[in-house]
Amino acid sequence: MPKYGIIGTIIARHKKDPSRLIELMRDVQKEVGYISPEAIAAIAEKLGLSTADVAGVATFYHFFSTAPAGKYAVYLNTNIAAVLKGRAEIAAAFEKETGVKFGQTTPDGLIGLHETSCIGMNDQEPSVIINGVVVTKLTKSKVKELVAAMKAGRDIRTLVKKYGDGANQSRLIRAMVVNNIRKKGPVLFAPFKPGSAIKRAVTWTPEDVIAEIKRSNLLGRGGAGFPTGLKWEFCAREKSERHYVVCNADEGEPGTFKDRVILTELPVLLFEGMAIAGYAVGATEGIFYLRAEYAYLKPYLENILETLRKKNILGKNVAGKRGFNFDIVLKMGAGAYICGEESALLESAEGKRGEPRDRPPFPVQYGYLGYPTTVNNVETLCAAARILEKGAGWFKTMGTPKSAGTKLLSVSGDCKKPGVYEVEFGLTVKKLLEMAGVRDAQAVQVGGPSGNCISRSQFDRKICFEDLPTGGSIIIIGPGRDLFEVIHNFMDFFVEESCGWCVPCRTGNVLLKKKLEKITSGRGTDKDLAEIVAWGKIIKAMSRCGLGQTSANPILTTLLNFRHLYEAKINKDLDFISLFDLEAAIQPAASVTGQKLAEVHHE
């Protein structure tokens, strides 16, 4: 046994490589149950790091804990779709059955209840992840069954009795997750012959591959919409001994789950897309960064990579192209929304806290380990492979003048047919709602919390970069819902997921949320409405990265599109109401002494 016992073994397994710190810690978390102070000290010593830095990584990610997380670590997500589908009841059932609250572990260390952000299962909520196993569509009785099984010491995998459709049934996945592919389009979900894209690409020069992508007008599918061809060109132009391709499979925007379906059903198309990107920018290595929530797909995806090596779609002289060597390494995340931001993702892939970098330099100049890197979304790489297979001209026949091709939409919330829809850009929201079997939506959240909340009068608007851009998240809010519940949920999400690096995002969002609470509790005035807009603008302007630059959107877009709801909450006859609520403040004291509020508090 090496020094430090099991922790020493794990450190050795990862070759004392600091860039593998996340993988190493994932193993410690899994095998020891938490990142103990002893583990932090041992890792720091062996890897030549400061314990402050190691503890920094251990305390950054949702799926790491510095206290025992339970032999069974239950992660229930806080996403609004789960809330709409009865999350509160499920949470209460877990607490009742285990006897502990969320954030706690049972005294015997058996079951830990934890909260996390969106786990990419919006179309089958409420869902939990228990020891990496996804359990979907929970009911109170299922929770009872789950907890009983945990108390009996059973393997969670044995509780998954019915597998989902398609590859979810494959030997290496065996998940109860369902794909919910509602509409297949001509780009992503059309039949694909493995190898056809990369084989065609390597008959061209890398410059011509980039030119073809540029001609296609392919824009990044993660939401920001940066031209993919241009990104590849910038990266290829940088003089360096090495270049990297990084696939961003960390879809964390609440409500998006389309990459989950691509990874399950179209991994070959995706990995071919990575190889094509590698060929274009001159990379020999690709990093596939997979969000921790999708760890259940890891063995399956690693097996696909191995198959592709055997088929010469990866490895030496790829697709028969002499001198073009390219392989893909799978790296895991550990739960953090911010890691979907490309520079934060690179930090995380290097084994650090997933905090964004200052730009410039951009990743195409200074990316993974400092080398020029193109970071592309899963769906973007798939579309790129299709473009190389079928041509830019074909691709441009679909969509709108500025948004070519199709888009995968993840539709969830109050609708009959939640799931993935591949539609041409330019589709109206109204048409999408019809497809999803929605007749009476009150509001539609386009692009997740960081996007835009639109009202009925705007349902003729089009989903495309010219009008309503989206990374794919579409959450439908039905007529009977309290929209403020949705807005509060989104603000809680941003407060929780802010990395805290910069002041406006770290503190501004907390202040914004408190202001919103003041208004919705009926203590707001016109002045509060004016202030919440002003504060939102400050946070947008002064924040360091996209998170803080969009975190005020749930409030700002609803104030624009649903102002009457706010107006109905505020006091019109008063100029000012103090934030300090005297009655609430003396309530605890009054309840201890048994006095009525009126007896303690005299006007």
Where on the chain is the footprint of other proteins (CB under 8 A)? 44, 48-53, 55-56, 59-60, 336, 338, 353, 355, 358, 360, 495-504, 506-508, 510-511, 514, 531, 535, 538, 541-544, 579
Q: Are 338 and 549 in contact (CB under 8 A)?
A: no
465 vs 501, beta carbon nearer other proteins: 501
347 vs 379, beta carbon nearer other proteins: 347
Q: Tell me the closest approach of the beta carbon of residue 23 to other proteins, in angstroms.
A: 20
Q: Tell me the closest approach of the beta carbon of residue 114 to other proteins, in angstroms.
A: 15
Q: Tell me the closest approach of the beta carbon of residue 125 to other proteins, in angstroms.
A: 24
* C-alpha distances out from residue 374 to 235, 388, 568, Å: 6, 18, 48
Helix, strand or coil, per DSSP, at residue 346: helix
Q: CA 446 to CA 460: how far, in whole Å?
A: 13
Cβ neighbours of 107 (radius 10 Å): 8
115 vs 327, beta carbon nearer other proteins: 115
Structure tokens at 51: 């314990």
Q: Which residue has the tokens 């597998």?
A: 163
316 vs 514, beta carbon nearer other proteins: 514
Q: Tell me the closest approach of the beta carbon of residue 554 to other proteins, in angstroms.
A: 17
Q: Tell me the closest approach of the beta carbon of residue 239 to other proteins, in angstroms.
A: 17
Q: Tell me the closest approach of the beta carbon of residue 351 to other proteins, in angstroms.
A: 14
Q: Tell me the closest approach of the beta carbon of residue 566 to other proteins, in angstroms.
A: 20
Q: Are 438 and 415 in contact (CB under 8 A)?
A: yes
Q: Tell me the closest approach of the beta carbon of residue 117 to other proteins, in angstroms.
A: 11
286 vs 536, beta carbon nearer other proteins: 536
541 vs 597, beta carbon nearer other proteins: 541
Q: Is the peptide bond before 361 cis (omega within 30 degrees of 0)?
A: yes
Q: Tell me the closest approach of the beta carbon of residue 217 to other proteins, in angstroms.
A: 24
Structure tokens at 547: 């998170």
Q: CA 231 to CA 351: how far, in whole Å?
A: 25
Nearest alpha carbon to residue 348 among 398, 285, 271, 287: 287
302 vs 517, beta carbon nearer other proteins: 517
Cβ neighbours of 360 (radius 10 Å): 8
Q: Tell me the closest approach of the beta carbon of residue 42 to other proteins, in angstroms.
A: 13
Q: Tell me the closest approach of the beta carbon of residue 358 to other proteins, in angstroms.
A: 4
78 vs 543, beta carbon nearer other proteins: 543
329 vs 503, beta carbon nearer other proteins: 503
CB-based contacts of 581: which residues, under 8 Å, 6+ apart? Answer: 523
Q: Are 378 and 251 in contact (CB under 8 A)?
A: yes
DSSP string, 407-452: EEEEEEES-SS-EEEEEETTEEHHHHHHHTT-S--SEEEETSTTSE
The radius of gyration of the chain from alpha carbons, rounded to an integer in Å, stands at 25
Helix pair angle (553-561, 526-542), 10° resolution: 130
44 vs 149, beta carbon nearer other proteins: 44
Distance of alpha carbon 442 from the chain centroid: 25
Q: Tell me the closest approach of the beta carbon of residue 27 to other proteins, in angstroms.
A: 21
Q: Are 326 and 284 in contact (CB under 8 A)?
A: yes
φ and ψ at residue 105, rounded to 5 degrees = -125, 145
Q: CA 54 to CA 44: how far, in whole Å?
A: 6
Nearest alpha carbon to residue 487 among 522, 538, 530, 452: 452
Q: Tell me the closest approach of the beta carbon of residue 345 to other proteins, in angstroms.
A: 15
Q: Tell me the closest approach of the beta carbon of residue 502 to other proteins, in angstroms.
A: 5
340 vs 472, beta carbon nearer other proteins: 340
Q: Which residue has the tokens 């608007």?
A: 461
φ and ψ at residue 120, rounded to 5 degrees = 80, 30
Q: CA 133 to CA 211: how far, in whole Å?
A: 43
159 vs 538, beta carbon nearer other proteins: 538
Structure tokens at 602: 């005299």
CB-based contacts of 227: which residues, under 8 Å, 6+ apart? Answer: 214, 217, 218, 219, 220
* C-alpha distances out from residue 493 to 57, 273, 472, 497, 597, Å: 20, 32, 18, 6, 35
39 vs 378, beta carbon nearer other proteins: 39
Q: Are 100 and 330 in contact (CB under 8 A)?
A: no
59 vs 397, beta carbon nearer other proteins: 59
Q: Which residue has the tokens 């806080």?
A: 78
